[in-house]
A and B are shown apart, each in its own frame.
Chain A
Amino acid sequence: MSDRGVLVPRRREVRTVVLIPAADLRPARRERPGFLWAAPAAVFFTIFGIVPIAVVLYLSFTTWNGLGTPEWAGLTNWRALPDDADALHSIRVTAQLTLFCWLIQTPLSLLLGVWAAGPQRNRAILSTLFFLPLLLSTAAIALTWLSLLDPNFGLAASLGSYVGVADGNFLGDDSRALYAVAAVISWQFVPFHTLLYQAAARQIPASMYEVAEIDGARTIRQFISITLPQLRNTIIASSVLVVVGSLTYFESILLLTNGGPGTATRVLPLHMYVKGFVGFDMGYASVLAVLLVAVGTTLSVLIVRSTGYHRMNSDREGM
């Protein structure tokens, strides 16, 4: 990177020139990165993302038990969908779980991230501890909590009575199980989001706080009028990850409650997994997979619309 020194003055030099659109001046000499640069990602995503989605759509019109050859079945699987009360229920559970996860994770990791961004040494040590759960796999975390939530011998037995659950019945009660699952998932992912907020909070110029201090603004006021607006993009990015993640991380649920009691914690991806890989009804599971793709795409559109991600390539030029 020895050329960096050259880069800096050159940038300053050009700053005045930029007022004349360079493209008009010397169109022949300007080289912009073309599609070739995006081609590897595009081709890769097509082969291992889009093609499989097309295949899953095809499979949703077949009956297949995972052995032998899928056989064309027309609309049979799709006709079964409206009768499947569990499918509709699982979409509702997914939405609830997403909401709970967001409500727990966002305020917690925002506060923790801002706190951990501070310079004190004890914070550095403590935040290292905070990030430790990042190193554990989903399975290890789920099994640990499964034992901690054992109603007779775990923490649930000794602490349950303090939260009004004297018999420690968290995972087995269908009104509580989903909260318990959301709490465990949050325990796993708060460190990651804290990391995001910590990095972003460090980028906030200290001068802004200095000015606020001179104006006599107190901590909470500073947090609300400086920190929060400055972290706006990170809040959006982190929320997007929570929402997207809630469609992905069903492994914890599989191990904690297996979707139960009954179907109380069965989210859509888990419902698909159970139909496909436990019941080996791959045709119907494909219908659920298509539904999952549809939910995912709808969410993507909503996210992109509300965040303006899609304008990223053009808004600089529009300035």
Chain B
Amino acid sequence: MTIYTAARHRAAEARPRVSYVRPRPPRGVGTVGRRRPVNVAAGIAASFWLVIVAVPLYYIALTSLRTSDSYLTDGALRPPSGLTLENYRQVIDLGFDTFILNSTIVTAITMALVLVMALPASYAIVFGGTRAVRATFNTFLLGLAIPAQAVIIPIYLLITRLHLYDSLTAIILPTAAFSLPMAIVVLTSTLRDIPRDLFDAMTVDGAGTVEVFRRLVLPLSRPGLVSVGIFSGLNAWNGFIFPSC
């Protein structure tokens, strides 16, 4: 066993047992942190970061209200000489609603696809472990760091040759495929925290795989599902290269 897994078990032991059967840690775990002494280093970093985050956000809000001739000359951060809603009108005229709708559709479908496929697969990997499942897991691990951009050329071929008229589909499918390895790694590590004896208890009682999935895996994997959801959602929302083909 590597140091990594040992550390992981230490952490698991230290955690209150009760948290295993609840989808979220009980409030108490967080609130006792109140007794923690003030962390000065983190506080300084946080204020520093606040400025760095706020300035560009302020700038975006400001420029969206600026006329195009006062943009730049006004000085980047000075309040503008004249405010206008003209830019918003232009954006709406350009078909803003379609853009937002498309982005939302792509993000939602990608997230759903990834979650629906990755969770059952992780379930089989953690609790099953047949040779085929192991091989699948290893394949996914090899794909962990391969960026989806590596296949834009074949995807492009797919669009032109296979007459994939709907380019939205062409964006969703590869984005989802290359989000799967990371999703499976995150979810398997979440599922691994489910005590083996819980699983054994259910199966000894004769619960079928579907029942175990429904009653044990689904409720206990929620934290993992949330991180995977955010991760794959971000990937899809930020997808710029696929859309541009």
Contact = CB atoms under 8 A, between A and B. Distances in A.
A244 B4 CA distance: 19
A106 interface: no
A233 B4 contact: yes
A198 B1 CA distance: 27
Interface of A: 1, 3-4, 7-8, 10-11, 13-15, 17-18, 22, 25-26, 29-38, 40-42, 44-45, 47-53, 55-56, 59, 66, 70, 108, 111-112, 114-119, 123, 126, 129-130, 132-134, 136-141, 144-145, 147-148, 150, 153-155, 157-158, 187, 190-192, 195-196, 199, 202-203, 205-210, 213, 218-220, 222-223, 229-230, 232-233, 236-237, 240-241, 243-244, 247-251, 269, 272-273, 276-277, 282, 285-286, 289-290, 292-293, 295-297, 299-301, 303-304, 307-318
Contacts of A243: 145
A115 B46 contact: yes
Contacts of B30: 117, 119, 202
A1 B118 CA distance: 22
A35 B132 contact: yes
B208 A31 contact: yes
B188 A48 contact: no
Q: Name the residue in B16, B56, B189, B208 with the highest tally of chain A Cβ atoms < 10 Å from its Cβ.
A: B56
A154 B57 CA distance: 14
Given A126-B46, A126-B50, A233-B189, 7 more contacts: A32-B209, A44-B117, A205-B29, A233-B8, A296-B147, A312-B192, A313-B133
Contact of B134 (A22, A207, A313): A313
Interface of B: 1-2, 4-5, 7-8, 11, 14-16, 21, 25, 29-43, 45-46, 49-50, 52-57, 59-60, 63, 71-73, 75-77, 103, 113, 116-118, 120-121, 123-130, 132-134, 136-158, 173-174, 176-178, 180-182, 184-186, 188-189, 192, 195-198, 200-201, 203-209, 212-213, 215-216, 219, 223, 227, 230-231, 234-235, 237-238, 240-241, 244-245
